[in-house]
Structure 1
């Protein structure tokens, strides 16, 4: 009986560890915002993250809000050959993608935001970096990270 309990506990611990695996992302340069506490990019455990064309890239990021804010914004910048561009998100309002909590947000609140970005079939198969920033109501960055990715055929 004790062996069965030990085995079940061990299996549960292993499954929990697997769930907590996150991508190790880089901090943004030239910015005062910390990287998120946790970043989970669906289907990715190490860089470069593969982004299949014709599908949505799904990222869950957990971050701490440094101050009260009525609204939060997501900003995505693809970086190709060192040149930073702008990616127009279908819904940049972070409040609409919160998995826990709601806006307005309070100082020191721990939030998890799910970002879904379309990866169109028309995108070229290319390696790039994606910079993702979370901004407060005054457009001040409160969290920021960079991850290496590669667009691939679905």
Structure 2
């Protein structure tokens, strides 16, 4: 039955054209989630306007039972210099699960929405890959990890 739910979610997302091309992380561990959609982006690099929220919708399977999860974001400036991006309260993954709550059970298929504000200190024109990873109780407790190239664009209100 669980297989059918995962299959349905994947087919639904693909049929609606809501799947962003992401790749496996190169600097952090973690497998790819079942599906990722970044609003407004199918084929990277994804254009992210300053002072707006980038919104990621992610479907993944819990690899084990977990009481808590955190989301970490790292931008690689010039392709190599890591910059840990503070997600603030948005880093508390359990608060943004759409179909469940923590603790989560091993094998549970979870729908997660992440919002990340593109701050003004990220200059317009900045192009960098970003790795988004979800971890359990420790940073080495990988749940999943995605890498996607982005370009910071001018705020929409200009």
TM range (shorter): 0.7 to 0.9
1:98 is aligned to 97
Query: CA separation in 1, counterparts of 2:13 and 2:58?
Result: 18
Q: Any conservation in 1 of the 2:13–2:19 contact (CA below 8 Å)? A: no
2:128 is aligned to 128
1:37 is aligned to 34
1:19 is aligned to 16
Superposed CA deviations along residues 48-84 of structure 1, whole A, max 9, x for unmatched, are 0000112111111111111000001100001111111
Q: Greater CA deviation, 89-98 or 29-38? A: 29-38
Report the 3-state secondary structure (helix = DSSP H, G, I; strand = E; otherwise coil) of the residue aligned with 1:85: strand
2:85 is aligned to 87
RMSD between aligned residues = 1.7
Query: CA separation in 1, counterparts of 2:130 and 2:109?
Result: 23
Which blocks of at least 5 consecutive residues in structure 2 are unaligned?
1-11
Superposed CA deviations along residues 9-50 of structure 1, whole A, max 9, x for unmatched, are xxxxxx975524311101012554211111110111110000
1:143 is aligned to 144
Query: CA separation in 2, counterparts of 1:32 and 1:146?
Result: 11
* Normalised TM-score (structure 1): 0.84
1:3 is aligned to none
* Normalised TM-score (structure 2): 0.82
Give the superposition deviation at 1:95: 0.5
Distance change (3 Å), C-alpha of 1:42 and 1:67: same
Query: CA separation in 1, counterparts of 2:32 and 2:13?
Result: 23
Query: CA separation in 1, counterparts of 2:109 and 2:47?
Result: 28
Query: CA separation in 1, counterparts of 2:144 and 2:102?
Result: 17
Tell me how many residue pairs correspond in the alignment: 140
Which blocks of at least 5 consecutive residues in structure 1 are unaligned?
1-14
